[in-house]
Amino acid sequence: MTDRAVGATTLFWTRLNPVPFLLAPFIAIALGAVLALAHPADRVADDRRARRIGWLFAALSFAPNVAYFVCLYPDWSVAHLGRAARVPSALLLVAAIAAAALLPLAQGVAMSWVRAGEARKAMLLIAGGAFGALVVAAALATRFWVVTSFKEYESGATPGTLASTTLWLELLIFDAISAAGAIACLPAAPGPRPLRRLHVDDRERSVDAPTR
């Protein structure tokens, strides 16, 4: 997978902001596999760098995204399927971090597959995460469109929507944060290779070598 393709795929996923808690595990798994496919897997130093990028992206971009919306819009973040607002914020924060941790964990698993020559498994992991996120989003689309509390949603009161609340401004802010994270995850362009020095022994071997 080329660097441009990796950046475009990562940016596509991060444009799903905000990330509701119910979608976060699927998106994290797919993103981790994408980062694994971007990894050249030919040197230990590259392996460590790729893992650091995965953890940094999860900690600085993905986790804050999920944590912000699950703490400020808890009922919406679980599609009004329960009273998440009654859960202590500390527990919601732990749940968001756990969901974000799936990203580097999935990256590590997929990197081991790529290193073993089984990149197809990493692609299947991407497809599985994407399919899971799309199925959940499609099934709960009408619930995610409504921005209110669980009590008001169940009572049938006139709710706000994504378009009528200030959530759109928060979307723009987190879009910018996630876009910056996606750019930071792009593999660095390879630098010029150092010229190989010709040693005296090499010159002697080239001279003594029989000609055909």
pLDDT at 191: 45
Question: H or E element: which one contains 160?
Answer: strand 160-161
SS3 content of the chain, % helix, strand, coil (to 5): 70, 0, 30
Q: Which helix (H) or strand (E) holds 183?
A: helix 167-184
pLDDT at position 185 is 64
At residue 19, the pLDDT reads 74
pLDDT score recorded for residue 115: 86
Map tokens 């005296």 to a residue: 200
* Residues of the chain scoring pLDDT < 50: 1-17, 189-195, 198-200, 203-204, 207
Residue 146 phi/psi, 5-degree rounding, is -90, 130
pTM equals: 0.72
Q: Cα–Cα distance between 47 and 6 in angstroms, integer?
A: 17
3-state secondary structure 19-40: CCCCCHHHHHHHHHHHHHHCCC
Angle among Cα 135, 139, 140 to the nearest 5 degrees reads 120
Q: Report helix angle 89-115 to 63-72, nearest 10.
A: 150
Per-residue pLDDT, 41: 56
Q: Please state, in angstroms and rounded to a whole number, the distance separating the CA atoms of residues 16 and 47.
A: 28
pLDDT of residue 169: 66
Q: Report the C-alpha gap between 109 and 184 in whole angstroms.
A: 22
Residue 2's alpha-carbon distances to 34, 86, 122, in angstroms, are: 11, 45, 15
